[in-house]
Every structure is written in structure tokens, then in C-alpha cells.
Structure 1
Amino acid sequence: MFLKRWHEQSGGKMRDHYEKFVELSNEASRMNNFSDTGAYWLRNYESDTFKEDIEGLWQTIRPFYLQLHAYVRAKLRDHYGEDKVPKNQPIPAHLLGNMWAQTWGNIDDLVTPYPGKTSIDVTPEMLKQGYTPKKMFEMSEEFFTSMGLLPTPPEFWSGSIIEKLAGKEMVCHASAWDFCNGKDFRIKQCTKVTMEDFNVVHHEMGHIQYFLQYKNLPLVYRDGANSGFHEAVGDSLALSVQTLKHLKEIGLLDKSTPQDHEATINYLLATALKKIAFFPFAYIMDKWRWDVFDGSVKSTDYNGHWWKLREKYQGIRSPVTRSENDFDPGAKYHIAANVEYIRYFVSFVIQFQFYKSLCMTAGQYDPHNRSQPLHECDFYRNKEAGAKLRAMLAMGASRPWPEAMRAVTGQDRMDASAFREYFKPLEVWLIAKNKELGEPVGWDSDQ
């Protein structure tokens, strides 16, 4: 009921306004010599084949997604029953633990393969050791400087808000800010002492490091190589920070903590619920808008097209009947605020490219050596990896993004194969498990 009311009150009330907005937004785009708003957004990616490129990346990722989807559906059926989660059908969206079913981490307790294994959530240990939000930021800064990257200036510490201010109404969504004077960089985050927020801190500090590295460029070039680059930098470091190796190194896990196969599968599945589950949602957010802006979809089919895409790509369905009186896309902030979303899809691809390249540079990963799996790499304190990352960050937006990509990865294109490599042990396990469970992979689209 809560999900239904949210969609009615947030999305439903803006439907007529959105139709008028599309008209005005497209008019503004045409005044800037673009055919429509979708084309205007895509200028940042400097590719005439960008839409096809994204579809190709999704097709690389899709086989793994289908295996995860099948396994999660089977576990949800065990919990809720065949009548609620039938075989061969899309999963009801409200069972996936998130308002928009965009990530599935909140159902980790229902789908964890080996519940008895030690958790890698070090939140209790952080609290035991007296961690504070400031210490979390200091440790994140130390990760960057250990690689030979830049420390934050004094203005960062005096101007940032890293805890919720008592008695103040605040937008607590974490964000990083460049005040464009070469020294004033800030983060606003209502930080809590949790492992999840520890990773968020590294993500936001990645933005700050990017700001620092390109601060001396002309203002027009002080940005990411493309929108996805800025989002990917901190996340690529967070992949290193959340490894057992790193957590042991910084004293949040006992050095004797074992990493057996079952614990590895738990860890990779928990990560996949946040990463792989997000890909199709991130894709359809803008695929829907590209179709709306270029006129392929008329206002009479706004909601129908939304749910067609969600079923086709995500394999989910609405738990209640929807009609064109509803406007479910509008229940997501980025639709209402007109924030392009494909940057997150791009960032989730390239963060694994960055991570793999930095791991190889640090001597922490060899694709031909099975004793060094990619998901166990930690390039903390490695100056060579830091130098490679710095070369890319310092370019800002002064060079086409393929050149920036080449500086850190040696490739000049986006490639989802690093993502598949990272999760390979889990994908192999899921294929075998789904066969064992007799769970069909995929879904019928006949409703």
C-alpha cells in the first residue's frame, strides 16, 4: 500500500505537467541545435553510436543478470509462496526491498546462500573502535594520499558538513561540491558510522580528488571526461576498500579471518544485489526518456511504455494494476528533476574497468592466475596505480573521454568484461544452483 500511495502522490500528480515539460524542453534543445532533449544529453558522450554501445554493454551483462534474477525469484518463492512468485514470470516489484526495485540489497537476508558464514559487515567493529564520521573521512583521504594523490585543503575540513546538524532540516543525500576557486571543495553528508557509509565516503571523496586534480584547468574543462567518469572514480576505490584484505590491513577484521568459498559467494552475492541488479533500471530510466523526447512514445502510452521496459529489461511487474491515469516514472526523483541517468549505467561499467587496470598495475591481479581473483584485489598504498589514476583525473574534460579511458585502462572504449570477470565465481555458482533448484532462467512476457 505504501508503494502504491507513493507512486500516486509523487508521480501521478505530475503527469500533465510532464507532457508540457517535454514540449518545452525539446523546444529549448532545438534552439541549441539538437533534435530533442535526449540528443542534447548525449552530446557529453561524444559518440554517434552511443545508444547502440549501451545496448551492447547490456547484452554483455544480461546473461549474468538473468542468472541472478532466477536465483532471487526462487528464494522469494520459497519465502512468499508459489502464488505470489510463480515460476517463469516477472518478479513483483514490491518484493525486492526498494521503492523502485532499482537495487536489491535490502533482501540480502532472504537470499544469502550461506547464512551461517561470517559477515563482512564491519559496522560493529567500527563502533567498538570508536569510529566517528570525521575519522571515516580522514581514513578515506589517507587511502588517496597513500597512492600518491592529493590531500584535501584546509577549506575542505572547515566548510564541509559531514554529520547531520542538530535541529536543522537537511537534504541528507550525499553530495560533493567544487566552488571553482581552486581551494574550496566540500562534501555534504549525514554520515553514520556504518560500513555502507564508509563506502559512500570513499565515493564522495573520489569526486573531491577529481576536483583537486583538474583544478588548474580552464573552468570549461573542470569536469569529468564524461558524466560517468565522475561517478566511477570513488566507486572503483570503494571496491578495493571493501575487500577482506583491506579491512584486515586497516584493523577492522582480524587477520586470521578466513575467506573460504562459501564466504566468497555470500560477499559477491551481496555486492551483486547492489551492482548487477541496478544495470537494467539505470538503462530504462533514460531509454524511456529517449523514446519520449524523440516522439517514439506518445503521452497516451507514457505509463504503458514504462512498464513494458521494466518487464523486458528488469523482469519485474507492478504488484497492482496500472493504467495511463498513473505516471509511475515520475515517482523517481531523477525524472521529476530532469537529471539524466545513463551516467550511472556508464559508471557501473567503467568502475570495474578502472579497478581491474589499477589492480593489474599494482600487481594484485593476473587474469591468467586463478590464485589472484579480481574481487580480492586491494591497491592501497600503491604509487604506480595512483600515478595511472592521476594521469586520467588531471585531464578533466580537456580531452575526449576515450583518451582519458586509455590513460587509466589502455582501452579507448567501455567494456563490461571486467564486470563479468569480477563476479565470475558467483556466476558459475548461480548457473549450477539454478540447475539444482530447477529454476527456469528468464520470464514469459504474455501478461
Structure 2
Amino acid sequence: MGTNSNLDEALQFLREYDSEASNICFRVSSAQWAYSTNMTDFNKRRMIEEQTLKEKFGKITWRKAVEFDWTRLPDPIARRQIKMLVMNSKATLSDDKYNEIYHLISEMKDLYSHARICPYSSNPYKNESIYCDLDVEDAKRIIAKSRDTRELLHVWREWHDRTGPNMKNKFMRYVELANQAARFNGFQDASEEMQFVYETPDFEDNLAQTIQQILPLYKELFAYVRTKLYDKYGPEVVRAEGPLPAHILGDLWAQDFSNIHDLVTPFPEFGNIDATAEMLRQGFTPLRIFQMAEEFYTSLGLKPMPPEFWRYSMIEKPTARRVQCTASAWDFCNKIDYRIKQCTEVNMKNLIDTHHEMAHIEYYLYYSDQPFLYRDGSNPGFHEAVANAIILSVFNPTHFYRMGLSNNKTEGYEHNINFLMLMALRKVAYAPFAYIVDQWRYQIFRQGVMKMNSDWWSLRLRFQGVVPPIPRTESHFDAAAKRHIPADISYVKYYVALLLEFQIHEAMCSAAGHTGPLHTCDVYRSREAGRVLSDVLRVGKASHWQNVIKMLTRGKSEKLSAEPMLNYFEPLLLWLREANKKEPIIGWMTNKNDVALYQSLVYAANANILLPSTFSIVSTVIFYSLL
């Protein structure tokens, strides 16, 4: 912190920053777009050059910002903006260490993106050539679709072994440098610095309260899913009252259970919601999908997409060049140019994705008049929360019926339970994973890197009831199998977004005058719901996010809450309690065998009882069902 408290000079600095930062953002976004939509070596070099320029600009900006004593500036807006530029920055490091930490992050991201695994062979001794060229998308697809436990185990082990160990030493050095930068900024460690962006002293306590609200529902879901998986795979893979091995849950990271919905659907004869066949029958095109999404927002009284959007967006996959097909929304920071990049196919998933990405564009449009520092969500979770709140109306049997994409309003009990089960496999199952990723990171920054892997699995067992399918040691680094860890991307924002999406959805449904179960609410054509949403979007980051929640809830609350999420799933919770009546454990019961899978000392002491078929409870028992 410097000594300059001259308000005029601070305001002049902020005006210059606003202009220069917007220009840098435009240049970087343009270069990234060019590479994403035409993946040539030239475009890649140009993108890297612009990203390097952005890092230099960030360092220069920080040096100018720290000349001011923001605590003594009389204007609260200037004070907050200078504080945002000064704090939460690795620019406090010396030039050598600043370059080193970004080089480490770049190297870890590169190792992750280039990781390749070998395909499963049912006969590894057969003399055949195996090309080990499967990437993360291939691994995700196999884990999602395969029901062969040997193949699942092979892919899980390959991916976790090919990623984490290669970057463990780099990550340990990264932790050291991140803590140094945080302490130079006045924080105790990098965990405190990570939470600074939420500008809330009791942020971590608020999160802890919400996960405790969700866990009873999660454990009912978990118990039901475990029974179905036990019926599918038997006691050799699943212990009837224990935690679940990570490789059989349909997701490479066991963060989402929706890919095993075919194994756990309560009433399979009634099916699940899918509008793809009807879209094809009606002759939908990618353009019509985008037009339908736009009409959803204009029906709420929100803004239509600007001409530049239709002119420059990549709606379909080009045939003559290589592109990145991951759907994304783009703000070019010039208050004119907004685009979506998506290789749209005519199916329900792409219909949902288009509505999701267009929600981000609406956010960009509404806060475009804010200063550059405030052109963002009210907190890091708000952008995703707004987009997902819209999807709760769009991916909805009521909405598909209204749009002529379904002949069934699914008012039947069985259809509703099937729908809520699918949503719970996506949302409820995701909650504890989204919560623990940064809880683990906070723990590493506070306590050190000596037990990184066992700490990771200890949290996963405690909150998720998930264990590794094979023994792991501290030579492994399984958290790094998730890209956000090596890429230095905070994850708690996804948990915040999960809570907020239901809070926003409930507020919009209330404004729309919806009656009945929350999961049947569709705000399409409700101008009242649109006003609630536009009020949120217009603020951007200009006001504290708790003020936005207070505005949403009409003054009833200013905190993150899981209550709207629980209201949404209330019919399913009642059904699960009835379905689980014969379950002796709602949750999971662990023993030494489970802990031995990731704690080497326990493993060494119990090596003689770690055979796959010996899951009998023969040791000290810990009941996590009452966590």
C-alpha cells in the first residue's frame, strides 16, 4: 500500500485503466477467438503473444495501483476499485517469481492437455499393437458409457496415473509461491486470498452451513444409488452399507451421477424427458435453435441479440478448418461485439446449451455500461448461476409441452419422480464434490503439502462417500486429475452457482406467480420474472453480491441458502425416504479397509485384508451417515 490518497489522481488512474483494460481484453479475446475458430499454428502464436501482453499489463497496473493508499480515499467506489486491483494479485512477487508461478501453471496445464492413456484390452498378453492416444474426452466417454468394471477401473487408473504424478512437484512449488504472494498482500495464506473476492468475512462458514443442509438429501440419494449399483455389480465391487468406488459412478471424477441414470431410474417403463426426436421430426436447424433461445429471452422482456451476434457467432461446425467445439459465450469488451461459439447439432442437449450460453450474453449486454472492473457477475458464481437458473425453466417438462416439443405434460407421479431423479443425479450428487475441491485447496495452503493425496480422499470419503477403487499413496496426486487444480482455477464458484441458481429460480417463479411444485415452474413469457432477472443482470459487480440476494429475496435474506434447492427436490426426498425404508444405513459406514485405500500407514498394517472380496466390517467403524 502506497501513500497517495489524492482522489483526483485515483479517479484519473481508474479512467485510464478502464480504457486500457477494455482494449487489452478486446485484443486477447480477438486472438483467442481466432485460434478457437481456426486452430492454426500462426493463430496459436498470436494468442500466446496477446496473453503474455495481458500478464505484463496486469503487473504494470498493480505497480501503479499500489501507489495509492486506498483506505484513505474518500470516494467509496474509487476505494473499492483500487482495492480490487491491489489485492488478490500474484504481482506482489518479484519479477522472477511472478514469471515462475505463471510458467508453472502453464506447464501443468500443458501436461494435463497432452495426457494420453492406453485403451483397455481384455487380453493384455495378446501380441497386438496398442496406441495409447486416448485423451480426456475419450476417457470421459468410456467412463460414462461402459458397464464393464474392468474397463472402468483401467481407464480410471490410467487417467489418474498419467496426470497427477507428473505435475506433483510443480504443484508443490506453486503452493509455496502462491502463499508467498498472498502474505505479501496481507493475507495469512493463499486460502484467505482465494476467498477475498467474495468480500465476506463469514463466507466459509456460510458454505459450511449450506452443505449441512444438503447432506441429508444427498445421503438419501446416495443410499438409493448404492442399492441399484449393488444389484448391478454385486458385493465384489459394492459393499452394501459402505462408500462407493469412484470408477462406477459414470463420471471420470465421480462428480456427477447422471450418466448412470439408466441403472437407477425409479420407473424405467415411463422413460425420461428427451425432445430430440420431436426436434428432428419438426425439421429443426441450428439457426432455429438459436432463434428459439432468443425468443425465450425476449418473451421475458429481455434484450434481443445484437446484429454483430448474428454476423460473427459460430453456430455450426465449419468443414474446412479445425475448431474447438466446446460451447462458450464471448464478450469482446467493446460494448458492441458479443458472440457464441458452438458446433450446434439438432438435439435436446444443444437446445439446452444454446439457452445457457445466451444467458451469459444477456448478462454481458445488461452490465455493459458499468466500468470495466464491474463488468462481471456479482460474485464469481453469479454468471453460471444465472445461466443455470434459466435452464431450470427450459429443461422442464412443462416448458417442452408449451413449446410443442412434447405431447406429455408429465403430470403423472412416475414421470415427475423420474425427472427429479435425473436432476438430482446432476445437481444433488454434484454438491459435495463442488464443495470439497476448494476445501481441499484451502487445507493444502494452510497445512502444507505433505499429505495432499490422503487429504483429498479423506474429504471425498467424508462428504461424498466416495473412495478410490484401488490403493493410492502419496506418490499419486489424484486431485490433479481434475483440470481446475493444475490450471489454478477456483472451484468454489461452482458450488456457489449451484446454490444461487435455485435461489434465482425461486425468486423468478415467485414473481411469475407460479403455484405448485417448484420443479414444474416455467417462467417463459413472464415479464415479471424478466424484471427480477434484469435487475440482477444490470448490477454486474457494482454492488456487493449479498445486496443482490437481498434484492432477489425482497429483503428476506442476504446469504447463500440451500432452502430453494431443497424445495425443488422435496417430492423426490419424500419418495427416497419411502424407497430407502429397508436400508440399514442412510449414508455410508466406513472401516479401516476404506481408509487403507489412501493412507499408506493403514494400508501397510492391513495389507492382508485388502483383497477385493473382503469388504466385511471387521474393524473400527465410523458412521458418516450422521455427519
TM-score, normalised via structure 2 length: 0.68
Which structure has the larger Rg? Answer: 2
Q: Does the residue aligned with 1:142 lie in a helix, a strand or coil?
A: helix
**What displacement does 1:439 show?**
4.8
SS, match of residue 435 in structure 1:
coil
**Amino acid of the residue matched to residue 305 of structure 2?**
T
* Cα deviations by residue, 1:342-387 (Å, 9 ceiling, x for unpaired): 111011111111111111110113xxxxxx1111111101111111
Contact 2:410 2:416 in 1 (8 A): no
Partner of 2:541: 397
Deviations 1:144-196 (A, max 9, x none): 11101111111112222233333544333322221111111122223332222
AA matched with 1:425 = P
What residue in structure 2 maps to residue 139 of structure 1? 292
Query: 2:508 is matched with which residue: 340, 351, 358?
Result: 358
Output one character per residue of 1:32-77: Cα deviation in whole Å (capped at 9) or x when no partner: 3333222222112111111111010000000000000000000000
Contact 1:70/1:439 (8 A) holds in 2:
no
Is 1:277 matched with 2:429? yes
8 A contact 2:437–2:492 mirrored in 1: yes
How many matched pairs?
437
Preserved CA contact (<8 Å) 1:11 1:332: no
Looking at structure 1, the residues matched to 197 and 585 of structure 2 have their Cα atoms a distance apart, in angstroms, of 40
Amino acid at match of 1:263: H
- Per the alignment, residue 368 of structure 1 pairs with none
Cα distance in 1 for partners of 2:451, 2:365 equals 45
Q: Is the 8 A contact 1:303 1:329 kept in 2?
A: yes
Please give the alpha-carbon distance, in whole angstroms, between the structure 2 residues aligned to 1:321 and 1:258. Answer: 45
| Secondary structure of the corresponding residue to residue 227 of structure 1 | coil
Contact 2:397 2:410 in 1 (8 A): no
Amino acid at match of 1:386: G
Hey, what's the Cα distance between the residues in 1 that align with 2:292 and 2:427? 24
Match in the other structure for 2:229 = 76
Q: Which amino acid aligns with 1:327?
A: F
**DSSP-derived class of the 2:192 partner:** helix
Kept in 1, the 8 Å contact 2:329–2:360? The answer is: yes
The structural deviation recorded for 1:93 is 0.6
Aligned to 1:369: none
Higher RCO (C-alpha 8 Å, min separation 6): 1
Identity among equivalent positions (%) equals 43
Measure, in 1, the Cα distance between the counterparts of 2:492 and 2:319.
35
Q: 2:507 touches 2:553 (CA, 8 Å); kept in 1?
A: yes
Question: What amino acid is aligned across from residue 384 of structure 1 in structure 2?
Answer: E
**Alignment equivalent of 1:130, drawn from 283, 293, 312:** 283
Deviations 1:189-244 (A, max 9, x none): 23332222322222211111110000011111111000111111111111111222
Aligned ranges for residues 216-255 of structure 1 at < 5 Å? 216-254=369-407
Name 2:414's counterpart in structure 1: 262
Match of residue 102 from structure 2: none
User: Does the Cα contact within 8 Å between 1:312 and 1:445 map onto a contact in 2?
Assistant: no
Report which stretch shifted further, 133-142 or 4-13.
133-142
Give SS of 1:300's match. coil
Distance 1:66 1:408, change over 3 A: same
The 5 Å alignment of 1:290-329 reads 290-294=442-446, 296=447, 298-329=448-479
The more displaced of 171-180 and 10-19 is 171-180
Partner of 2:563: 417
The AA in structure 2 aligned to 1:241 is V
User: Is 1:286 aligned to 2:438, yes or no?
Assistant: yes
Distance 1:106 1:153, change over 3 A: same
* Residue in 1 that maps onto 2:317: 164
Contact 1:362–1:385 at 8 Å: present in 2 too?
A: yes
CA shift at 1:127, angstroms? 1.8
1:445 matched to 2:595? The reply is: no
- Once residues 336 and 165 of structure 1 are traced to their aligned partners in structure 2, the CA distance between those partners, rounded to angstroms, is 31
Q: Distance in 1 between matches of 2:253 and 2:344?
A: 23
Deviations 1:5-42 (A, max 9, x none): 11111222111110011112222223333332222221
CA distance in 2, matches of 1:59, 1:189: 37
RMSD of equivalent CA atoms? 1.4
Relative to the length of structure 1, the TM-score reads 0.95
SS at match of 1:336: coil
The CA deviation at 1:333 is: 0.7
Contact 1:202 1:235 in 2 (8 A): no
Residues in 2 aligned to 1:258 and 1:59: alpha-carbon distance in whole angstroms: 32
Letter in 2 for 1:421: N
Mapping 1:37-76, distance limit 5 Å? 37-76=190-229
CA distance in 2, matches of 1:270, 1:220: 38
Shift of 1:132: 2.4
Partners of 2:534 and 2:278 in 1: CA distance: 32
User: Deviations for 1:246-278, whole angstroms, at most 9, x for unmatched residues?
Assistant: 111111012x55421011100000010000010
Mark the CA change 1:118 to 1:361 in structure 2 (over 3 Å): closer, same or farther.
same
Deviation >4 Å, runs of 4+? none
Secondary structure in structure 1 of the residue aligned to 2:514: coil
5 Å-filtered alignment, 1:331-346, equals 331-346=481-496
- Asked if 2 retains the 8 angstrom alpha-carbon contact of 1:207 and 1:230, the reply is yes
Give the whole-Å Cα distance in 2 for the aligned partners of 1:98 and 1:221: 36
Q: In the aligned structure 1, how far is the partner of 2:287 from the partner of 2:485?
A: 34
What is the aligned partner in structure 2 of residue 433 from structure 1?
579
For 2:339, what is the secondary structure of its paired residue? Answer: strand
5+ unaligned residues in a row in structure 1: which ranges?
A: 366-371
Deviation at residue 406 of structure 1 after TM alignment: 2.0
Indicate the SS of the match to 2:317. Answer: coil
CA contact (8 A) 1:87 1:439 kept: no
Aligned-partner SS, 1:388: helix
CA distance in 2 between counterparts of 1:167 and 1:78 reads 48
The reply on whether 1:184 has 2:337 as its aligned counterpart is yes
Q: Give 2:519's match in structure 1, choosing from 369, 375, 379.
A: 375
Deviation of 1:118 after TM superposition, in Å, equals 3.8
Which secondary structure does the structure 1 equivalent of 2:581 belong to? helix
Distance 2:165 2:314 in 1: 34
CA distance in 2, matches of 1:386, 1:428: 32
